[in-house]
Amino acid sequence: MRYALFISALLHLGIMAAGFIAAPFMTVPAVVDSQRIPIELLTEAEFADRTSVMADRVSEEIADTNPSDDIEVSSLPDPIPTPQFEEPTIEETPEPVEQPKPEEPKPEPKDPPKKEEDKPKSEEDDFFSGLDDALVDLEEEDERKAPSEVVDPEGLSDQEAIGLGDTLTAAEEDLVREQMARRCFDQPQGVPNAEKLIVRVRFSLDREGYLIGQPEVLNATSIALSGNSWWRTTRDRAVQAVITCQPYDYLPAERYYVWSEMTLNFSPRGVM
């Protein structure tokens, strides 16, 4: 509070000092008397006379200041002539002259095709032709060696089991091939003429689906004599696939007399 009162007192003293110092320099404006304007009262008749006289004077002045006589009218310049263009002449194009069509050349008689000369057979063609003959001979040999009657462990002969279905059904064959190709058979890749490198494997199974003995390669002699390394590789992998895929317990037990012995064909293309 003391500081506020002190500051307020200083401000008031400053204002009072400024007033005393500035008072001599302030001038009071002089009072000027306003000019008196005389007013004359006129009647209507006097006002009409004065206004009519003023109107006549104004009309005469306007008539004297008519500038129509002093103004000289300048003549307009001559119009510019419009240029005239010559119309272009259109030349008539001559009609095209039809040229005579060239005569089509007559086709020359073709010589009769020459008969292709017999090409010498390569060693590879001789090998595969001999391979086909070996497969045919092997199939005929298997048919001759096949027993006329097979008896399963239950004592049912193949003649007695005909009524029950003596071969694998299409679904059963597809199931065996699918399991063999998907889980067991490692197909060789990039084999030339793969469709001709067939390996036939026969094997027997017990009721639990396990192998009885070792798988038998029916065309083992032809494979060994061929000297073809791809064929031998396919043979080895086919035998290994038959062994790896056991047990074949997914086959129906009541049809054991059918799948107790099976023959599968292998090639680099898959299981057939």
In tens, the pLDDT along 132-184 reads 555 555 555 554 444 433 334 344 344 333 333 468 889 999 999 999 999 99
Highest mean pLDDT range out of 26-40, 113-127, 254-268? 254-268
| Within-domain flag for 227 | yes
Most confident range (mean pLDDT) of 8-12, 67-71, 255-259 is: 255-259
pLDDT at 150: 39
pLDDT at 32: 57
What pLDDT was estimated at residue 41?
73
Residue for token pair 């003959």: 133
Task: Give domain status of residue 17, yes or no.
Answer: no
Query: In the predicted model, is pLDDT for residue 56 greater than 80?
Result: no
Whether residue 60 has pLDDT greater than 50: yes
Per the model's pLDDT, the better-predicted residue between 71 and 91 turns out to be 91
Judge contact between 196 and 132, C-beta under 8 A. Answer: yes
Q: What angle do CA 254, 259, 262 make, to 5 degrees?
A: 180
Choice between 179 and 63, residue whose per-residue pLDDT is larger: 179
Distance CA 244, CA 228 (A): 25
Residue pair 215/201 in contact by the 8 Å Cβ criterion: yes
Note whether residue 145 is domain-resident: yes
* Residue 164 forms part of a structural domain: yes
Residue 185 within a domain: yes
DSSP character at residue 247: -
Mean pLDDT, the chain, rounded, equals: 73
Residue with tokens 């639990």: 208
- Residue 100 maps to a domain: no
CATH number at residue 130: 3.30.1150
Tell me the pTM. 0.42
Confirm whether 211 is domain-assigned. Answer: yes
pLDDT in tens, 203-224: 999 999 999 999 999 999 999 9
200 lies in which domain range?
125-271
Domain count along the chain: 1
Q: Is the C-alpha dihedral spanning 223, 228, 232, 238 positive or negative?
A: negative
Residue 59 included in any domain: no
